[in-house]
Structure 1
């Protein structure tokens, strides 16, 4: 917490030292930065130190307390708060003190509790005043930058801000964007950094690297922070923007993480032309995915590099979907790696990257729907569909896409299992209905468009028996039923009825299952 600066003014050294020890100044929001033993020295000290609070005695040599307050109001360009400490219980003094806007009038001997209560009250007031000033200053700065960028500021307003920025003849001006990436809405709240918090980080980082950050102005845009500065602010960096940007990003990374990008526009010769620097900083945003390694894009360094709008190759997309459907995981990963490598190496424009990823997602979801699946059940779908308006690095986009592909591949495998389970049940029902026909594994596989070898494996895995054994058991069971229910049907007629073209083969297979011939089975029933 920032402490307010205070000075003590009293001609008695013991009073000053006693006050310093008696009061818990930091707990009340203050720190004692200096002291004086008479009003005249105090006036000079106040002009030099510019404290937030002056605590002064009334009766002092040379210049008394009330005269000191009056002279500060008349001669200085700022107004610290005053607390009067006096051993004189004089109502007239109190009246004058109130007239001069003194915050409080404390009588000696000082009551510690009373004094600290007055300090805390003043601390709250000063803090509110400072927040209001800063808010008004931000609003004023934002309005100024907006008006200049839009070309709406008049010459007088521009001249005022040139003075405020301490611009010198020949100073260049720069506009740059600070952008926080990979800070998206589906992250848990504990991991996210609010836009307001990031703006505060920008202020802190600029204060850490600038000798006088009052000349640098920060402006809030929808999803990034704009920074306006001049050559004066680059003096500690050899007058060069790149080392300044590198140091600024390092400070921001310490506060906000590796997701910080900086985009620097071309310099403008006059404040009225800053919209040119702003426009080129926006152009620099288009090179973001190409410079994901350094995460600093200086427009003048990249403006000659042509960005590309290549669309996805339909044949390559079809191969990718095929790899996905066939669960060729290594090939799927290699394809995704190749795509993202091309995005960088071939300098894809952001819109081209978005379009290519969108086409891939559409292809995958079409496959899922074609297998009677619902892509909306995928947890990874929303992030890969909704990222377009977010600030994301190409590495994070790749991670989201890989998560979507992996989950989709697993989902497709599950859908295929469900389909095959439904399919094998249909095949079983077909066998149980058509067992008397001349059917085989090969003929059924052809009928249901399945590889015969795969069908045989699936049958064994699903029902625990091979296809031929399953068919044989159905036929034998049906033969047993006929043997039980008909006394006059001959054995060869029963064999033909249940699908055996050869009666001897039927008898052999029946005996293999039941350990007796069909005739022995019938006689046993009699």
Structure 2
């Protein structure tokens, strides 16, 4: 809970200590941070500590309470709220207090309940004022940064903001982007963090690492936060930008945020911030090259070349073949190699997007060629819809791998469906052509199927090997001829059902029926 700072001013030490014990300050939203026994010391404390509340007596040596309030109000360097406590109920004092905007005038002895109630009401008012102040300050900050970036700020405007930023001569000024990554509906945790709070999380992280004495100015861009970072902020990090970035990234990581930080080149005038902003945007192009560290400082990467080429056509075709042939290990190795190339061969984000898109199109085309529908894939939407999201290279690899694996499963299923239909066609073909000189090899060629795989599929589907299946059909047809044509010779029956040798026919017939064709006919007679 945020507590407001308060100072007690009274020349009687027992009054101050008694008041501190009498009131539950924290419960009322305050904490006593200092005491003074005269107005002059109180004046110095107020200007140095800049408290939210000053509780003061009127009658004090050196500088009385009303004079203390008058000087603070008129000098306007600080603006605390004042509460007067006094043993005198003189209307003149109260009237003067009202003129100076004093919050309340309380008579001694102090009533604990009434005074606590006054403090609680004041606490609520101060909290509302703080919220309003922060909101207005952020609106002003956003307008200031935007006008600077667009080059619309005049010299008077820039001078005013340089004073607010407490810029010193020769101070460097960086423009930094903080980018929230991997925050999407398909993330592994299944919980998407509210992006609206990211700006506040960044602000708190920087405050935590740099303290409250330096103004922090942030601006919300479309999908990242821009921050002005002056040298004064970097002092506690030895002026090292990378050390500052590491501390901020660690603080943000504790908030369960996957963060990238990008720094533009330093400038020495607020007027030149557009140059730092422009180079911070250029630093975004090196994102996937620095996926491990996730900190990109433009001046350290500017000389590094970027790659905008597509995947080699031969490599692409081999990859699609591996997917179609369900070579899971080979596919995994190819994906690993592809994403290593993205990083090590310095692919720009647009080139990565182009190559991933090409692969996705190749896979969906393969699925459609098998009469499948790629829209049935749960992993299709993420790998198609990620283009406008901030994704790390590792997260993109995860989404792409899930898409490829699910596509392989889809292709395997489609192939089973196709082969189930194909095996029925093959059976019909055998039943129509059993009298011809057909074989497993010739049928496999006819239907563009590997003969070994066809033999396995036949055994799995019908429980017998192909040759046994074909022999059974031929013998059954021979039996039908023997039953229906008593004058047909045995060699004629053999030729009719696809045997080129009558002796071989007799041997095979006897193997199945446990009798010769002649014995079978005689049995019928």
TM over 0.5: yes
**Aligned mates of 1:138, 1:98 — CA distance in 2:** 32
> Any stretches of 5+ residues in structure 1 without a counterpart?
none
- Correspondences of 1:40-119 after superposition (within 5 Å): 42-56=42-56, 69-83=69-83, 101-104=101-104, 112-119=112-119
- Correspondences of 1:43-442 after superposition (within 5 Å): 43-56=43-56, 69-83=69-83, 101-104=101-104, 112-187=112-187, 191-210=191-210, 214-257=214-257, 259-442=258-441
Q: How far did residue 276 of structure 1 move?
A: 0.6
Q: How far did residue 36 of structure 1 move?
A: 4.3
Kindly provide the CA deviation profile for residues 209-258 of structure 1, in whole angstroms up to 9, marking residues without a partner as x.
3255534422211111111122333333333433333333333333344x
| Deviates further, 90-99 or 330-339 | 90-99
> Any stretches of 5+ residues in structure 2 without a counterpart?
none
**Aligned mates of 1:13, 1:284 — CA distance in 2:** 60
Q: How far did residue 150 of structure 1 move?
A: 0.7
**Aligned mates of 1:523, 1:498 — CA distance in 2:** 20
**Aligned mates of 2:96, 2:189 — CA distance in 1:** 54
Give TM-score scaled by structure 1 length: 0.88
Q: How far did residue 140 of structure 1 move?
A: 0.5
2:282 is paired with a residue of what secondary structure?
Answer: helix
2:27 is paired with a residue of what secondary structure?
Answer: helix
Q: How far did residue 176 of structure 1 move?
A: 1.4
**Aligned mates of 1:480, 1:501 — CA distance in 2:** 17
1:239 is paired with a residue of what secondary structure?
Answer: coil
Q: How far did residue 426 of structure 1 move?
A: 1.4
2:54 is paired with a residue of what secondary structure?
Answer: strand
For 1:25, the equivalent position in structure 2 comes to 25
**Aligned mates of 1:498, 1:111 — CA distance in 2:** 118
2:226 is paired with a residue of what secondary structure?
Answer: strand
**Aligned mates of 1:432, 1:27 — CA distance in 2:** 93
1:78 is paired with a residue of what secondary structure?
Answer: coil
For 2:471, the equivalent position in structure 1 comes to 472
Does the Cα contact within 8 Å between 1:6 and 1:31 map onto a contact in 2? yes
User: CA distance change for structure 1 residues 522 and 190 in 2, over 3 Å: closer, same or farther?
Assistant: closer
**Aligned mates of 2:505, 2:462 — CA distance in 1:** 24
User: CA distance change for structure 1 residues 25 and 521 in 2, over 3 Å: closer, same or farther?
Assistant: farther
User: CA distance change for structure 1 residues 92 and 522 in 2, over 3 Å: closer, same or farther?
Assistant: farther
**Aligned mates of 1:409, 1:304 — CA distance in 2:** 41
**Aligned mates of 1:65, 1:525 — CA distance in 2:** 134
**Aligned mates of 2:298, 2:63 — CA distance in 1:** 60
For 2:459, the equivalent position in structure 1 comes to 460
Does the Cα contact within 8 Å between 1:445 and 1:452 map onto a contact in 2? yes
User: CA distance change for structure 1 residues 19 and 445 in 2, over 3 Å: closer, same or farther?
Assistant: same
Q: How far did residue 67 of structure 1 move?
A: 6.2
Does the Cα contact within 8 Å between 2:203 and 2:216 map onto a contact in 1? no
User: CA distance change for structure 1 residues 235 and 43 in 2, over 3 Å: closer, same or farther?
Assistant: closer
Kindly provide the CA deviation profile for residues 89-145 of structure 1, in whole angstroms up to 9, marking residues without a partner as x.
888877776665454566666665554444333222211110110111111111111
Does the Cα contact within 8 Å between 2:305 and 2:346 map onto a contact in 1? yes
**Aligned mates of 1:51, 1:244 — CA distance in 2:** 30
Give TM-score scaled by structure 2 length: 0.88
**Aligned mates of 1:465, 1:269 — CA distance in 2:** 85
User: CA distance change for structure 1 residues 525 and 80 in 2, over 3 Å: closer, same or farther?
Assistant: farther
**Aligned mates of 1:53, 1:254 — CA distance in 2:** 34
